Structure 1
Amino acid sequence: MKTLIFKTASGYLLPLLVLFSVFILLRGHYLPGGGFVGGLIASIAFVIHSFANGLEETKHLIKMHPGFLMPVGLLLAILAGASPLFIGETFMTGLWFENPVPVIGMVGSALFFDLGVYLVVIGVTLTIIFTISETL
């Protein structure tokens, strides 16, 4: 399925879908969305790219094994959940910075937890899809 139209479209879809996944990630701690859905959208972008351009070119584009994202994301999510313990609060209590960050809004531990989930979902999904694609 490596047609010229599909290859061209995937070149435009990849950055748009990754940008949309970051949008879904950032709006997730206020509205529906977040790390899981954003991670799935980003994974779909790379899967479409690998279908159109081949697995090796997509791996070259990512520049690292997607399995590396799993422990990094898990560590980030655990640290975000455990950070309230350092100030005497309970696990997974939301902590927020006092001033909003331009474009992002209010930043707190929920955003870092969502970012960890985002990385884990991308890592798991791409590792599974790439492993299945390599065996075919």
Structure 2
Amino acid sequence: MNKQRNDVIFQFCTLVVFFIIIMFSFSIFLGGHYTPGGGFVGGLLVSGALLLILIAYDIRTLERILPIDFKKVIAIGLAFCYATPLIALLMNKPFFTHFFGDLHLPLFGDIHWHTAMLFDLGVMLAVIGTTMTIILTIGENE
């Protein structure tokens, strides 16, 4: 039986809340070196935002919006986590020595960067990939 759903208000509000959660997750991610947060919490927030899209619509809509194999996202995240300490070893420094500096971007001005952000990016991608793989695997059994 094909059940007709009429969740227009819920679906509209989901799109608004989705972008708010995504922006907050990037704020938490970028502030993770100086305040509580970082890649793990940012990744959980992104996964929560994607889960909200999944609940408001359905699994096919999410796959149409984001045609991503989340197992590959896990692999990319782990590659970042693995490559970050190798940067230090290649520069003849102790394992996990982080480097920092200032980078000038035309629209944003001077931005302070840190190689720990690359590691946190890897953690964020691994958390998003793992969480969404678990959720989508469970959800496919409908």
Same fold flag (TM > 0.5): yes
CA displacement, residues 53-110 of structure 1 (integer Å, 9 cap, x when unaligned): 111111111121112100001001111122111111111111112x255478421110
Counterpart CA distance in 2 for 1:124 and 1:62 is: 15
Q: How big is the shift at 1:3?
A: 2.4
Distance 1:2-1:64 versus aligned 2 partners, 3 A rule: farther
Match runs of 1:63-82 below 5 Å: 63-82=67-86
Q: How does 1:18-33 map to 2 (within 5 A)?
A: 18-33=22-37
Read off the aligned partner of 1:96 and give its amino acid letter. F
5+ residue gaps, structure 2, are none
Which of 119, 123, 133 is 2:125 aligned to?
A: 119
Q: Partner amino acid for 1:121?
A: V
- Classify the secondary structure of the residue corresponding to 1:92: coil
Provide the rounded CA distance (Å) in 2 between the counterparts of 1:27 and 1:104. Answer: 16
Query: Matches of 1:42 and 1:103 in 2, distance apart?
Result: 27
Supply the distance in 2 between the matched residues of 1:62 and 1:85 (Cα, whole angstroms): 36
Q: Tell me how far apart the structure 1 counterparts of residues 33 and 61 of structure 2 sit (CA, whole Å).
A: 34
Q: Structure 1: 5+ residue runs without aligned partners?
A: none
Larger radius of gyration: 2
Distance in 2 separating the partners of 1:120 and 1:76: 9
Distance 1:3 1:56, change over 3 A: same
Q: Give, as a single letter, the amino acid of the residue that structure 2 aligns with 1:91.
A: F
Q: How many equivalent residue pairs?
A: 135
**Of Structure 1 and Structure 2, which has the larger fraction of its residues in helix?**
1
Paired residue secondary structure (1:24)? helix
The separation in 2 between residues aligned to 1:63 and 1:103, in whole angstroms, is: 34
Question: Residues 58, 51 of structure 1: CA spacing in aligned structure 2 closer, same or farther, 3 A cutoff?
Answer: same
2:135 corresponds to which of 126, 129, 134: 129
Deviation at 1:28, TM superposition (A): 0.6
* Large movers: runs of 4+ above 3 Å: 100-105
More displaced 10-residue stretch of structure 1: 15-24 or 101-110: 101-110
Cα distance in structure 1, aligned partners of 2:6 and 2:125: 28
Q: Which amino acid aligns with 1:66?
A: F
1:115-136 deviation digits (Å, cap 9, x = unpaired): 0000000000000001101113
